[in-house]
Amino acid sequence: MSQIRASRRRTVLLAAGIAAGALLLSACGEEQTGSSSGDTKFVQGTGQITKVPKSRRTAVPDLAGPSVDGKKLKLSDFKGKVIVLNVWGSWCSPCRAEAPNLAKVARDTEDRGVQFVGINTRDLDKANAKAFERNYDIDYPSFYDPSGKLILKFPKNTLSPQAIPSTLILDKDGEVAVRALKELSEQELRSALDPLIDAK
């Protein structure tokens, strides 16, 4: 009888472990955010763009770590600017689709107090991330975060980046004003950014 109980317990623990692993891989949080798939090779988002009123915004963790080009990078170095924080991977087809839009808007808004910062994730070979930046003319820095540790620093039940690609737009106080769980068009990015750039 005790062997049967032990076997059942192992089965329950194994099932719980598989469920937890699936949750982590699909980057799911409180909201339904899609799932990763062998066909798509990316963690699919909901397609939602969430805008947060000023009174309900929360700060993000002060991310710090190495950049794709090997330099030290810290989010708080850009304090006082509007920050566009984009999670991407060179292997991700929607990331490739939105990269030209991000690069163009980053160049166009640089002198308006906007700083783009990337979080490169799941690229185990840094050469792939460097090639992506070169191919899409990405001038702004990106954290190199192959294991996703930086993404896990975001507190539970907050507007965290829960898909790949994801984009957070932080206001000048470093608080999340917009979250997009999708690839962004140039127009979507500009319309989300403009009110934050103009805000006093």
pLDDT-based confidence at residue 53 (cuts at 50, 70, 90): very high
Kindly report the average pLDDT of the chain as a whole number. Answer: 83
pLDDT-based confidence at residue 159 (cuts at 50, 70, 90): confident
Residue 39 lies in a domain: no
**pTM for this entry:** 0.78
What is the maximum span of the chain, computed from C-alpha positions, in angstroms?
A: 73
Q: What is the mean pLDDT of residues 162-171?
A: 95
Question: Which pLDDT value is given to residue 157?
Answer: 77
The pair of structure tokens assigned to 195 is: 């009110």
Residue 45 lies in a domain: no
Residue-wise pLDDT for 142-151, tens only, equals: 999 999 999 9
Question: Which pLDDT value is given to residue 158?
Answer: 83
Residue 16 lies in a domain: no
Q: For residue 155, what are the domain limits?
A: 50-198
Residue owning tokens 């770590």: 65
Cα 98 to Cα 165: distance, rounded to the nearest angstrom: 9
Residue 116: is its pLDDT beyond 60?
yes
**Please, are residues 47 and 165 in contact by the beta-carbon 8 Å criterion?**
no
Q: Which stretch of 13-17, 26-30, 125-129 has the lowest confidence by average pLDDT?
A: 26-30
The residues, any chain, with a CB within 8 Å of residue 31's CB and separated by 6 or more, are 46, 162
CA-closest candidate to residue 45, choices 194, 188, 197, 193 = 188
Residue 1 lies in a domain: no
Q: What are phi and psi of 55, to 5 degrees?
A: -70, -15
The residues, any chain, with a CB within 8 Å of residue 120's CB and separated by 6 or more, are 68, 88, 89, 90, 129, 132, 142, 143, 144, 145, 146
Domain of 81, CATH number, reads 3.40.30.10
Residue 135 lies in a domain: yes
pLDDT-based confidence at residue 4 (cuts at 50, 70, 90): low
Number of domains in the chain: 1
